[in-house]
Amino acid sequence: MCIAILKPKGEKIEKSRLDTCFFNNDDGAGYMFAKNGVLHFFKGFFNFGDFWKSYSKNVVRNGNPMSAIHFRITTHGKTNVNNCHPFKINENLGFIHNGIIDMVKSDAKHSDTSMFNELVLKNLPKGFIKNPAISSLIEESIGASKLVFLNNHGEYLISNESAGKWDGNIWYSNNTYCYKYQYSVNNYVYGSYNANSYYLDSPKKKDKKKDKKKSSELYTSCSSCSEPLSTRYEQNSGVCESCKDYPAYKR
């Protein structure tokens, strides 16, 4: 599913919360920030320690400038640095994405996000994030997906903003910043977030082998509302994004 985050200038996100985001979306992390008219890009972190070392140096110790942060779950394309977010549209504009964009074809190498950038976004006129007509067309094109654009002056646009959530002054594309999801043999459980995320059952090290279930073991419809499950994140849990807001939910 991934999670996209917009962090305004001066706002702080606790290390433990970013760790939760990485734990639940661990196929590559990245971020970008705007300062003094320059947009800085950093991506391709597959270990939270490496991510935090870079983020704390460039964002936390740099006055917490306007930033966009992304943690990926692979749905299309390879799990590699190139498919990590953020993506650069040009030197002064980048974006991050949460969801699946069906209007473009992806392949074994390139994600749908990467293809949307190459085929659509890079061909739009400069300054398009300030054009209401183009913004509306983008939302129409991406369906239920959410995009966060950030330019070198710290100006931003969130496509489908209402589909995400503002927690204080920070915007999150979904609630995977709230809970640490824990795989077990036949169940998928999660616990609540306080100062540090914790598990409903005894904490265990995440088993990457269990992440790679065979397709026959994945859920195809939501056990709560019976809607089809479209992403690996939902298919592993057996519950759709809309029904994940029940803290006591347990498969």
Residue 203: pLDDT band by 50, 70, 90 thresholds?
A: very low
Tokens representing 197 are 């995320």
Of 39-48, 76-85, 87-96, 184-193, the range with the lowest mean pLDDT is 184-193
Cis (ω within 30 of 0) for the bond into 228? no
Do you know the residue count of the chain?
A: 251
In this prediction, residue 233 carries a pLDDT of 61
In this prediction, residue 220 carries a pLDDT of 72
Question: What is the CATH T-level fold of the domain 3-172, as seen in this structure?
Answer: Glutamine Phosphoribosylpyrophosphate, subunit 1, domain 1 (3.60.20)
Range 164-190 average pLDDT:
79
Give this prediction's pTM: 0.75
pLDDT of 183 above 60: no
Q: Are 69 and 77 in contact (CB under 8 A)?
A: no
In this prediction, residue 228 carries a pLDDT of 65
Intra-chain end-to-end CA distance of the chain, in Å: 19
pLDDT of 214 above 90: no
- H-type helices in the chain, by residue range? 15-24, 48-58, 112-119, 132-142, 208-211, 232-237
In this prediction, residue 12 carries a pLDDT of 97
Q: How is the beta sheet containing 146-151 ordered, strand by strand?
A: 87-90, 93-98, 146-151, 156-159
Residue 250: pLDDT band by 50, 70, 90 thresholds?
A: very low
In this prediction, residue 144 carries a pLDDT of 94
Provide DSSP, 93-152: EEEEEES--TTS---SSS-HHHHHHHHTGGGSPTTGGG-HHHHHHHHHHHTT-EEEEEET
